Amino acid sequence: MASTTPHGTETAYDYVIVGGGTAGCVLAARLSEDPDCRVCVVEGGPSDVGDDRILRLRNWINLLGSEFDYGYTTVEQPRGNSHILHSRARVLGGCSSHNTLISFLPLPEDLDDWVAAGCTGWGPETVLPYRDRLRTHIVPVAEADRNPIAEDFVTAASAALGVPVVEDFNARPFAEGAGFFSLAYQPEGNLRSSASVAYLHPVLDRPNLTLMLETWAHRLLPDASGRLTRVAVRGADGAPATVRAERELLLCAGAVDTPRLLLLSGVGPADDLRRLGIEVRADLPGVGENLLDHPESVIVWETAGPLPPNSAMDSDAGLFLRRDTGHPRPDLMFHFYQVPFTVNTERLGYPVPAHGVCMTPNVPRARSTGRMWLRSADPAEHPALDFRYFTDPEGYDERTVVDGLKIAREVAATAPLRDWLVREVAPGPGVTSDAELSEYGRRAAHTVYHPAGTCRMGAPDDPMAVCGPDLRLRGVEGVRVVDASVFPTMPTINPMVTVLLAAERAADLITGRPGPSGQGAAK
């Protein structure tokens, strides 16, 4: 039912989901299973239906910096790379329509960390059984997509480092190993099994499900009772409107845009908001803090010629190591790229080989944390992102990258991978000292596009928690947050499946339905 307000036409639904990304698609599908429940999804980007640019997985790299990318940048990074484009997807399905769809279940200890951080009810015994509800088609890279050089990387890594070859990283928790990743895709046709494809495409004809695409949400507004359940939006035609949630407003805009929307709406650090002239609705100092990521560097080799053409998405295999054997989780990861990823090394003056490969030493649980904030009260201005890369006082993140560059060279010097390689292009064999490797590794560092943590959940007495374990926003009625911004700590592995599991659990928390193990879900 529509009415007219100072913010344009207002329509009402039971649930309004802001953000049609990875989590938003799950919630939209699950909540609209009840035919009497009216669900609306507000998504700033277009549909992915029928668009091969989105649906073909191997095209992911061409989406970076495209019309489907919000393209956020960082502030100056004194100890890192200040030139990183933090791609955030502007399309239905969000980053699951935009990324490589590498799909790992979170390790049990990752979820134990959440419970230790005050997130009661988010332990492995509760969260991991939701894997059986996932609709995405997750399989190890198909045999036809296994490039010979990637196979030789796996063999060389296992031989050089004494780690097992892992056939399926999701079969059981692992401490280390080399192997082909599991991906959310359909190998025939190289088609994504993104959150939108798996959850929304089959149910788009539900009469109780409304998608508002190319619609930008820029401020939350109170309803007559003071609950923050209305969203001011602007459609593709520029016309203002308001969408109201009669039950709950669900923020699923991701770790950048969810806190951004809260700050623009007066929910966040009170002093910061007042300085920008924003009326304070709730003083929540944790909004925008605890900005997490998986930083990684890169080491590039030239190959003797073009590689065989087959691949799922050109980064199909990887390696996990446990340098600290006193702990059960890996503390160093590598992606193996079958293309030379030189966006950062070229800027540093290194040549671009016509044909090449690279390894990317990655910090699974980085100890450097950052923050984001508004530059102004103008919703159109991008927020400031400061990941504070490589600033942890003990130098752990820096040490991890230096170790990773050295270990990558060990793998590259081992047969059968070494037989493909002509020379190391970046940083080059002359860069050998820890100081030199650190300087190069930090300046060539990149992101794996995993921002998280900026609206983290926590215990009732945690002053920096933005949400409780029930995902309800503190100090404001009517709002829950469901996306990677609620992560209190970063999972060791690529976090997309953790977002899917969190959204599946959130659907039960919202509706009160029991979880897959029969445990209750408090509303």
445: left (phi over 0), alpha (psi -120 to 50) or beta: beta
**Under a CB-based contact definition with an 8 Å cutoff, are residues 242 and 9 in contact?**
yes
Pseudo-torsion of CA 16, 18, 23, 24, nearest 10°?
50
Query: Is 450 among the residues known to form the active site?
Result: yes
3-class DSSP assignment, residue 473: strand
Q: Residue 86 gets which letter from DSSP? A: E
Distance from C-alpha of 506 to C-alpha of 369, rounded to nearest angstrom? 26
Q: Which residues does 432 contact at the CB level (< 8 Å), separation at least 6?
A: none
CA distances from 28 to 54, 122, 165, 183, 381 (A): 20, 22, 38, 23, 29
Select from 517, 522, 498 the least CA-distant residue to 126. 517
Q: Which of 201, 294, 335, 450 is catalytic?
A: 450
Q: Answer yes or no: are the C-beta atoms of 65 and 87 closer than 8 Å.
A: yes
In this structure, what token pair is assigned to residue 157?
A: 């890594």
Q: DSSP letter at 291?
A: B
β-pair partners for 39: 15, 209
Q: Is residue 206 within 8 Å of 36, Cβ to Cβ?
A: no
Query: Cα(373)–Cα(371) distance, rounded to whole angstroms?
Result: 7
The catalytic residues are 450
